Structure 1
Amino acid sequence: MEDNAPGHIHHYHDYPRERLGISKLIWPANSPDLNPIERIWMEMKDSIKNQLEIGADFTAAAVRHSIVNEWRNYPVDKINQHVLSMSRRIEACIADNGRNNFNF
């Protein structure tokens, strides 16, 4: 899923997908963000922010350690829940006429 942002439109992004035989979903610009990874990033950012506020160690190494640690410890079950909620989120988006006035 890519939203046609400038970072997603370069042709070299297509090569790995083509090698693996994965089709690209057509995704309109300015559409509601339904990509499960966005919810995961948000949860991870909140956790990392809390860790850094508590420790107040803002060195690049400390931030990197927090990010790597958070990703390694992010529960696979939660990732699966986000991915498996995709059809419900798409249905909610369709019911909302393509807008993003629903919560998941």
Structure 2
Amino acid sequence: MRARRPQVGVVLTAQHRAGRLAFAREHQDWQILTGALLFTDESRFTLSTCDRVWRRRGERSAACNILQHDRFGGGSVMVWGGISLGGRTALHVLARGSLAAIRYRDEILRPLVRPYAGAVGPGFLLMQDNARPHVAGVCQQFLQEEGIDAMDWPARSPDLNPIEHIWDIMSRSIHQRHVAPQTVQELADALVQVWEEILRRPSATSSGACPGVVGRSYRHVEAKHTTEPHFDLF
């Protein structure tokens, strides 16, 4: 036997497990995996995790290979995005501060989700988890007024959301860069660039990152702050 790092997972109670099992059984033969279903989520990326560089022998002390570490924290960027079999939203970079319900409604639901739902038309379904800003009264009221249906989602189930694969791809892509981002702005720029690249590959309409990720999962910023609507349906 050898020492191994344990797999990291969320804390699940018996109630959580029962809810996840019920969800899986209910959707095991689901046929709605089309562009009408938008999977969304937020994710935080930190500068401190960009700790690998590609260099030649003797270049250890080169400026481009030195990760400047702030003892009080290197900074982080929170982003929001949505994917479906038919397209994706823009990657929205959340400026400093926490994501409260009003902010979620005004920066994400109104300028990004609403126009996407309008482009899809009847049958649009929003997937969001049960984070407090998502299920707050003001957000639920907004969705109801706009006629946007939200999917019932089991608690403590981030692993059921296929967008988690996208976050993982983005994280690994950032880490593999020859020069890691040194500032929060550089990290935000890099995340937007990677988001655009992985979801605009030629294979994305068949077995690429977005459709392939959605299918596999259910068989098992702008750099500057902006709320301008942007989405692709392909």
Question: What does residue 66 of structure 1 align with?
Answer: 190
- Structure 2: 5+ residue runs without aligned partners? 1-126, 221-234
Within a 5 Å distance, the mapping from 1:72-91 to structure 2 comes to 72-76=196-200, 77=204, 78-89=209-220
- Normalising by structure 2, we get a TM-score of 0.32
Q: Displacement, 1:36?
A: 1.4
The 1:27–1:80 alpha-carbon spacing in structure 2 relative to 1, beyond 3 Å, is: same
Question: What does residue 25 of structure 1 align with?
Answer: 151
Question: What does residue 6 of structure 1 align with?
Answer: 132
The reply to whether residue 38 of structure 1 matches residue 164 of structure 2 is: yes
Once residues 175 and 143 of structure 2 are traced to their aligned partners in structure 1, the CA distance between those partners, rounded to angstroms, is 33
Q: Displacement, 1:18?
A: 4.9
Q: Which letter maps to 1:80?
A: P
Coordinate RMSD, CA, aligned: 2.4
The 1:5–1:58 alpha-carbon spacing in structure 2 relative to 1, beyond 3 Å, is: same
Q: Displacement, 1:40?
A: 0.7
- Structure 1: 5+ residue runs without aligned partners? 90-104
Q: Displacement, 1:32?
A: 5.5
Query: Which has the higher Rg, Structure 1 or Structure 2?
Result: 2
Q: Displacement, 1:86?
A: 4.5
Q: Percent of counterpart pairs with the same letter?
A: 35
Q: Displacement, 1:73?
A: 0.7
User: Are the aligned partners of 1:5 and 1:29 in contact in 2 as well (CA < 8 Å)?
Assistant: no
User: Are the aligned partners of 2:133 and 2:139 in contact in 1 as well (CA < 8 Å)?
Assistant: no
Aligned residues: 86
The 1:56–1:40 alpha-carbon spacing in structure 2 relative to 1, beyond 3 Å, is: closer
